[in-house]
Amino acid sequence: MSVQKHLQTLEEESIYIIREVAAQFQKPVLLFSGGKDSITMAHLAKKAFYPAKIPFPFLHIDTGHNFPETIEFRDRLMEELGVELIVRYVQDSIDQNKVKEETGKYASRNSLQTVTLLDAIEELGFDACLGGARRDEEKSRAKERIFSVRDDFGQWDAKMQRPELFQILNGKINFGENVRAFPISNWTEEDVWNYIQRENLELPSIYFAHDRKMVKRDGAYLAYSDYLNIVESDEIIDKTVRFRTVGDMTCTAAVPSTADTIETVIKENKASKSSERGARIDDKRSESALELRKKGGYF
């Protein structure tokens, strides 16, 4: 009962923020990756403007290394919502020699997304990008404002963040700058799952336990795919797993699990002492990995 009250408070806040973005900016866009946070965002946006349609398009920066289940789900959801989906491909940035494919065992396209994203923002003239990042994910995320101003290079300057008072959101920016807006900043992973349960939201199947061919590397389980540079020390096994967070196939680790319903996933997450981001291999590159990527314009 009281969990519901808490979720309701969060929902009211998020809807307020999404409405502010729609009103204060000329050309907002919602960054959609197909993960549970994006799906929650899409649902909140639908609620914010109903019975009117969501007044902004969605943008997916496609690395080409996605889980096929996510892409299938994405397309179905967009059709259901009736929103315009814009897709920009990291492969195009590679073909244009703007970014270089990483090599070696840990090669991933995750950080390459930044260039594709910044190009898309510039090309399409977006002045606000809504994203499903949460402050509880990681400690540099914990420093993020709800409206986070980025310069014309997409850079985040943590030292120069604007004060943000009460729920008064200052969306005024100079030409060329953009704002990254985070309506679910104050949600935790647990809140997102409880909300998905309450609202009965559908998720890509990979969030629930399934049998999969996996690569065991450094104690982590990665999905077997053509995108992964498999080395001799990797162990290939069949395993029952689920994904707690969904990024690229190359850098998102699974957890061994038999939780195949929302209820059991919530129960299992609660019992776990590990964090969600612990499954993002890219964040483990160094203590400051995510902050450095954000400074460079990453989400």
Phi/psi for 92 (5° steps) reads -65, -40
Q: How far is the CB of 59 from other proteins (least distance, A)?
A: 21
x/- track of binding to other proteins for residues 157-196 (CB under 8 A): -xx-xxxxxxxx-x-xxx----------xx-x-x------
Residues 23-36 as b or e (16 or more Cβ within 10 Å = b): ebbeebbbbbbbbb
Instruction: Return the axis-axis angle of helices 36-49 and 2-24, rounded to nearest 10°.
Output: 70
Figure out which of the listed residues 52, 82, 104, 219 binds other proteins, where binding follows CB under 8 A. 52
Q: Which is nearer to other proteins, 64 or 278 (CB)?
A: 278
80: enclosing H helix or E strand: helix 68-81
Task: Tell how many helices (H) and how many strands (E) occur in the chain.
Answer: 8, 10
Q: Which is nearer to other proteins, 10 or 121 (CB)?
A: 10
Q: Which is nearer to other proteins, 62 or 283 (CB)?
A: 283
Q: Which is nearer to other proteins, 93 or 148 (CB)?
A: 148
How far lies 13's CA from each of 6, 8, 153, 189, in Å? 11, 9, 30, 17
The answer to the question of residue 50 lying near other proteins (CB under 8 A) is: yes
Q: Which of residues 1-20 bind other proteins (CB under 8 A)?
A: 2-3, 5-6, 9, 11-13, 15-16, 19-20
x/- track of binding to other proteins for residues 110-149 (CB under 8 A): -------------------------xx-xxxxxx------
The answer to the question of residue 225 lying near other proteins (CB under 8 A) is: no
Angstrom distance (rounded) from CA 75 to CA 32? 11
| CB-based contact 127:178 (threshold 8 Å) | yes
The answer to the question of residue 269 lying near other proteins (CB under 8 A) is: no
Q: How far is the CB of 72 from other proteins (least distance, A)?
A: 27
Angstrom distance (rounded) from CA 253 to CA 276? 10
According to DSSP, the β-strands at 147-150 and 178-181 are: antiparallel
Angstrom distance (rounded) from CA 212 to CA 189? 24
Q: Which residues bind other proteins (CB under 8 A)?
A: 2-3, 5-6, 9, 11-13, 15-16, 19-20, 22-23, 46-52, 135-136, 138-143, 158-159, 161-168, 170, 172-174, 185-186, 188, 190, 273-275, 277-278, 287-288, 291-292
